[in-house]
Chains A and B, each alone.
Chain A
Amino acid sequence: MTQTDFPTTASPDGGAHSGHHGERKFRDYFTFNPDHKVIGLQYLVTSFVFYILGGVLATAIRTELATPASDFVSPDTYNGLLTLHGTIMIFLWIVPAGAGLANYLIPLMIGAKDMAFPKLNALAFWMIPPGGLMLIASFFLETPKAGWTSYPPLSLVSGQVGEGIWIMSILVLGTSSILGAINFVVTILKMRIPTMPMNKMPLFCWAMLATAALILVGTPVLAGALILLAFDLFAGTAFFNPSGGGNPVVYQHMFWFYSHPAVYIMVLPLFGTISEVLPVHARKPIFGYQAIAYSSLAISFLGLIVWAHHMFTSGTPAWLRMFFMIATMVIAVPTGIKIFGWLATVWGGKISLNSAMLFGLGFIAVFVIGGISGVMLASVPFDIHVHDTYFVVAHMHYVLFGGSVFGIYAGIYHWYPKMTGRMMNEPLGRIHFVLTFIGMNLTFLPMHELGLLGMNRRVAMYDPRFADLNVLCTAGSYLLAISTLPFLFNAIWSVFKGKPAGDNPWRALTMEWQTTSPPAIENFEGVPVLKTGPYDYGLERNGSQPGLASSDTPALSGGSPT
């Protein structure tokens, strides 16, 4: 007997299946609603809208770079494009999309009715549209032009209005992120059902705990840096302005103290997502639960002490370059633990190669390239050559597109049935994956070579000897732009016309699948009882003792097969 025969209801008294659960109205999604599921979807949809905007900017950037001359937009506009592209993709797409998944899933995964602070949660979401609209509005006033890093002195002389809008917008979005993180930590630590110890939480919760810690430690430092920058910009102080005796390198330290951890803020939630997607569709327990859980915490900690590797060619002395080189290299170890753990999870399983799994495996396939180039970049002598070149652009897009975006797609295909009660269309999903995978590699793989050969980043015009490779990148970016269309159509069409999903179409074991799809307003009726570990696939279960599975210690890695 396998787990498929195992009752899907989470509690003996019928769980949430009593049929009179509340229904959400469409207009609820446009209101200040404290329900974490509404907020989760608000985050996901809003951030996807910004993703499309950021993608339009990326396509414009690649169109400009299709030829060596600056002939599509003016060089000034070009810098506005790249600044807004970076800022939107980071602060309005990947970070809030991760927060959206977390909002939707954490309470469901731990058996809670809602987040710890529902109204704070709604407030955190509702700071995003004004923050984002402000940035978009800068198109009609003056765009910020100093790159998403906004290094002074350039950021102090490239236009007060645009820079001011940029600072204000990041402060609002950062505050939103902090409020969300407080909610995640408290909810995960305090709202779990009594039968769920930390070591039986789904790994997504571990990943969000690590993410929230980074947000809480890092974001206030960024806010501090930006406020000081605003003083330099508007009040004529000279914290970072060398013409008044300030030090621009101090800004870089403060900026990267947040913005390097931000990379992990963007990718850790998706690490968690992958740890959820793979076991379900490979029908096999996650390999090394504790190693994967604790490696999230290790990445979180190490992520805080590597920021200066963004400054190896800046005003950094040798000892500092060496310390940050070694600290950065060490991050490869916990990341490697995850990747090998995931590979061992799918190895020997029974893999369904559906859209969620394709993006899940695609995530590993592409992310590993970004990981390898990341270790190379950590090496000071090599980084001196490729810093601020297209090699870095390639690396960061392999991590953030190949990592985060693939992870977000995997998560959406995986949880869409839970969120909407309907399945997404599989053939369209596969077309989406194939186009995205080819487009992504076509766009970003040649950039490695461009950087090594001598093409610097953030340029509107470049040496014509790089023209051929750039045409390839631009073609790839158009393919990427097209690849979103089948997804967009699929996601909208399936809400209305998708095949009804049922409560647990993937036969998954984590608790969000043990309630209705979409879940009732308060998720579960009564307090659900944990009956299996989150990844107990392949365990023989005794029908007369449904609660037995959880009395083993499925969380311990290294346990022998039962």
Chain B
Amino acid sequence: MNIPTSIATMLAGILITLLSLWYGQNHGLMPIAASDEATLVDGLFNTMMTVGFGLFLLVEGTILIAVIKFRRKPDDETDGPHIEGNIPLEIVWTAIPAVIVLMISVYSFDVYGQMGGFDPEAAEGMPGVTQVAMLGGDEMSAPLIDPSQAHPKPHHHMMAVGVGASPDRAGQPPDLTVDVMGLQYAWIFSYPESGIVSGELHVPQGKDVRLNIKAQDVLHAFWLPEFRLKQDAIPGEDTEIRFTPRRVGDYPIVCAELCGAYHGSMVSRIFVHSEEEYDAWLGQQVAMQSASPDTLAQRLDEQILALTTPLSDEEFLAPYAHEVGLTAASLESLKGATPVLNELLSS
């Protein structure tokens, strides 16, 4: 190998490194980060984009250069050099990916811990939670769960499913708990403390919020893209997400698990309010729902029925109409979808 080649290689390496470092920070592929958890995940993603983009450039660059530089001349019937391998080189390209994935694993592990993934208290103490029997006590979870936090009952352990409290909040009750019920094709949010039921999720900014997620009929997945959080809603098994909303605004709630024909229209909004706004909303809701207590149950049923009726195209698109320049008339012209009532509710 002559000197100019090694200089060229070095320059290429520097160029690839700089390009990946730049792209890893400036890919612009993620939506707004609206929670503490989102910021953590974005940091991890940027790191993976940096490493991944570097590898991408390395592989594609090698192919391109090889194709340009090592083409067979039309009349050249000879073979290339007989090189069967190179042990040191092979060790290098085995070890480097191994180290990279180890580092990404450790980083992911750390982010998951900070998000509250290892909160052993998650999913405990909630009525209706599925108890999972584990053989011989805590062996299964022993490597990751701090013994002092272990559940006292040796033969029944409630598995933490979902994302629990962040480590600095571990063991403390959340500021706000909301029960989330997924059903074809809506999310129903009930606030146990105030008795409110809503089709939209309203949360106060900067508070520790826990969502207890249930499903009534089939699997759904509760996804908050701007919060980088997702958890399946599983019939017969409760799951949870605990997070701290940081950024005031309203963001989509999406169902991410195929749940039937109108899966795509199973959408809602999460509103992050300042504390005063949130209290105002809460007061208003309480006043509305306590106005006629005897018809409350009936009103709830109607509300749920209305929410679970699949949206027609014009209803589904209406909230976005101004964004895409659709007129009311063009919405009307869209063919309406046939409402399919939820079996469980209509029976």
Contacts and interface: CB of A to CB of B under 8 A. Distances in A.
Q: Are A and B physically bound partners?
A: yes
A108 B117 CA distance: 53
Given A153-B235, A348-B80, A379 B257 contact: no
B291 interface: no
A454 B252 contact: yes
Interface in B159-173: 159-161, 163
Contacts of B193: none
Nearest to A558: B87
A287 B217 contact: no
B160 A318 contact: yes
B159 A74 contact: no
A242 B235 contact: yes
A242 B220 CA distance: 14
Contacts of A231: none
B235 A248 contact: yes
A348 to B, nearest CB: 6
Given A347-B70, A381-B117, A317 B264 contact: no
Nearest to A246: B236
Interface in B42-60: 44-45, 48, 52, 55-56, 59-60
A325 interface: yes
Given A313-B221, A559-B84, A365 B90 contact: no
Contacts of A365: 59-60, 63
Contacts, number: 339
A538 B67 CA distance: 19
Nearest to B257: A388
A562 B326 CA distance: 72
Interface string A530-548: 0000011111000000000
Interface in A458-488: 458-465, 467
A337 interface: yes
B113 to A, nearest CB: 9
Given A353-B71, A456-B255, A385 B41 contact: yes
Interface in B140-155: 140-141, 143-145
| Chain B interface, >50% SS class | mixed
B63 A361 contact: yes
A373 to B, nearest CB: 8
Contacts of A464: 317, 320, 323-324, 326
Interface residues of B, number: 103
A449 B118 CA distance: 29
A554 B85 CA distance: 10
Contacts of A54: none
A33 B323 CA distance: 62
Interface in B20-38: 29-31
7 contacts: A75-B337, A154-B260, A158-B260, A286-B84, A315-B237, A317-B141, A458-B258
B191 interface: no
Contacts of B262: 75
A561 B86 CA distance: 10
A94 interface: no
Given A154-B218, A376-B45, A538 B82 contact: yes
B232 interface: yes
B254 A319 contact: no
Given A317-B141, A322-B112, A249 B237 contact: yes
